[in-house]
Amino acid sequence: MLVLKKNLKLAVTETREFANSLIRQKKQQMLKNPAGTSSKEAEDLLSRFLISGHVDEKFVADIIISFMLAGRDTTSSALTWFFWLLNKNIPPQDEIVKEIDKTHNSSIYQEVKDMNYTHAALCEGDEEKWKFVPRDPYSYPVFQAGPRVCLGRDMALLQMKRVVAGVLARFRVVPLIDEGIEPVYLPYLTAKMKGGLPVRIEERALTR
């Protein structure tokens, strides 16, 4: 137990030092380029927080750490199960690939914004005439709902759609699991898959 506490303390210290180093680097960049320090021209969330007047570095470091921890295991776990389910359901996978081919010439943001079928597949929601129809958030509370809704919900979905587009545009993800064997669900804070998902990556024949 003492060893675990010591390791946890070291990990917390290292994580906070990393967050503080990001803040120092960003402040130096902003000093070198004062013309780009308006809220409209800020390129990232850290810049926006610093520009908005948050001078308490501990507070800003807490925000950075929250983003780091909140988006790490959740999106990776979701994508692990997503790629496994896609391999079991080839028609939806084909539709997603078609949608990727259709939107790939757009800007990155517009590309993922227009991926309605992929959005529906990630949410396991209803897809009607290629338009995502969201379900009642209280009946599907993955991101909570109402006043406790997850602040990173939209960012998480954009990230996952971008990863799916980047991977499936060029590759097939084939799980290396014997026929009839189901992955084991681990009921942690995030929906982890026991042992992860071993896969084989196959290059997809490009049609464009």
Which of 40-44, 173-177, 182-186 has the lowest average pLDDT? Answer: 40-44
Q: Which of 7-11, 37-41, 179-183 has the lowest mean pLDDT?
A: 37-41
Neighbours of 185 (CB within 10 A): 11
* pLDDT at res. 39: 47
CA distance 54 to 45: 12
Using a pLDDT cut of 70, give the percent of the chain over it. Answer: 82
User: Token pair of 23, please?
Assistant: 């803040």
Q: 6-10, 66-70, 194-198: which range is least confident on average?
A: 66-70
As a whole number, mean pLDDT of residues 1-11 equals 79
Q: In this predicted model, which residue has the larger pLDDT, 137 or 161?
A: 161
Mean pLDDT, the chain, as a whole number? 80
130 or 10: whose pLDDT is higher? 10
Domain ranges, ordered by start, for the chain: 2-70, 73-203
The three-class DSSP label of residue 45 is: helix
Which segment, 68-77, 110-119, 131-140, 142-151, is predicted with the most confidence on average? 110-119
Task: Quickly state the pLDDT bin for 178 (edges 50, 70, 90).
Answer: confident
Of the two residues 180 and 94, the one the predictor is more confident about is 94
Asked if pLDDT for residue 126 goes beyond 50, the answer is: no
pLDDT greater than 50 at residue 127: no
Residue 1: is its pLDDT beyond 90? no
pLDDT at 167: 93
Question: Is the pLDDT assigned to residue 193 strictly greater than 70?
Answer: yes
Greater pLDDT, 40 or 20: 20
**Higher local confidence (pLDDT), 208 or 48:** 48
